[in-house]
Amino acid sequence: MPVTIKDVAAAAGVSQSTVSRALSTPDLVNPGTRARVQAVARELGYQPNRAARGLITGRTANLGLIVPDLANPLFAAVVKGVQAAARAADYSVFIADTDEDASTEPGLLRALAKQVDGIVLCSPRSPDAELTEVGADTPVVLMNRQVPGYPAVTVDNADGMRQAVEHLAALGHRRIAYVAGPRSSWSNGQREHGLRVTTGALGVDLVHLGHFPPRFDGGVAAADLALACGATAVVAYNDIVALGLLSRLGARGVAVPDRISVLGCDDIPMSAMTHPALTTVSVPQHEAGRAAVAMLLALLADTGPVTTHRDLPTQLTVRATTGVAPDPEPGTADRSR
């Protein structure tokens, strides 16, 4: 039988109201009583009943987080960031996983909406309309996705691609292949865009391959195409796909980066552990998780205007899978101009 506010009130010789105030709005009670009440509460190990509090305040002190796939290390980072920020503000978080299936998103969203004060929706795959429906009654902050009028935290994918292309161009690559991710991925769209712009500006050829599933076997499947299309460098939608590329290239005995350079995106922990270690665009997903929660809490607090969009910088992390472009073989010569 847990200790209630009534027990504390009795033990301290005051009313329940005073106990409640002493603990949640200390300014309103006489310093003497306040100290006594707090001491008694601590001594008895009193913890307010969250259900009772929630019933009257209408708040649950819970947040929701929806990610496409918990097994993807990228989202593990998001989860940790969200958890950290939530815990700091005394919120708990419910986590749900859509298993990369867009059709489960609306249902999960609705189910979660009932029991949380706000939701962080990470990399949703559903069309805009489905998302805005729930956003109407429960505050939702988007991650890795932008929908007009909705608060969002994104990372600057396009700039990451700019850095990647400039890096490759500086190494002499004149023809780059992109292994595209899911059509429904907003990030993929951003990356394609960034690639198009920078390759265009630098006069580098861009070959679009895919779309492929954002998994290891997607990369495996794409490797042969990348090799055949005459590119000397491949940029993958994400690191997992890049790892698949490396695996298949290794199996075919293709030297990386001597014959072909490979570049990933996300910088998951595994990327630093391969041989050769993967050059990749680091995206601050942990930080993005924190930022999303901060934005959500600001929205909930409802005190003044809130920054409703943050775009976090990305950064190229050069490791060992990118190198100087091979000399054009005789016959395939001068592709520039």
Classified as helix, coil or strand, 178 is strand
Q: Of these partners, DNA, a copy of itself, none, which one is at the site of residue 31 (CB under 5 to 8 Å by kind)?
A: DNA
Is residue 33 at the binding interface for DNA, with CB under 7 A as the rule? yes
148 contact partners, CB below 8 Å, separation of at least 6: none
- Show the site string, 256-275: x = touches a copy of itself by CB under 8 A, - = not: -------------xx--xxx
> Is the Cα torsion angle 335, 219, 320, 165 positive or negative in sign?
positive
Neighbour tally for 237: CB within 10 Å: 29
Tokens of 225: 């195409």
**Number of shown-chain residues binding a copy of itself (CB under 8 A):** 35
Which of 10, 11, 21, 166 is close enough to bind DNA by CB under 7 A?
21
Name the DSSP class of 329: P
Nearer to DNA, 5 or 241 (CB): 5
Is residue 32 at the binding interface for DNA, with CB under 7 A as the rule? yes
Which of 45, 56, 302, 329 is close enough to bind DNA by CB under 7 A?
56
Nearer to a copy of itself, 116 or 161 (CB): 116
Nearer to DNA, 2 or 331 (CB): 2
Residues between 94 and 133 that touch a copy of itself (CB under 8 A):
94-97, 114-115
Which of 11, 35, 38, 52 is close enough to bind DNA by CB under 7 A?
52
Is residue 134 at the binding interface for a copy of itself, with CB under 8 A as the rule? no
Which of 35, 55, 228, 255 is close enough to bind DNA by CB under 7 A?
55
Q: Which helix (H) or strand (E) holds 143?
A: strand 140-143
Long-range contacts of 67-70 (CB under 8 A, 24+ apart): 67/95, 67/96, 67/97, 67/98, 67/122, 67/123, 68/97, 68/98, 68/99, 68/100, 68/122, 68/123, 68/125, 69/97, 69/98, 69/99, 69/100, 70/95, 70/97
Q: Which residues of 44-63 are buried (b: 16+ CB within 10 A; e: fewer)?
A: eebeeeeeeeeeeeeebebb
Contact residues for DNA (CB under 7 A)?
Answer: 2, 4-6, 13-18, 20-21, 23-25, 28-34, 46-49, 52-53, 55-57
Contact residues for a copy of itself (CB under 8 A)?
Answer: 47, 49-52, 54-55, 60, 70-71, 73, 76-77, 79-80, 83, 92-97, 114-115, 216, 243-244, 247, 250-251, 269-270, 273-275
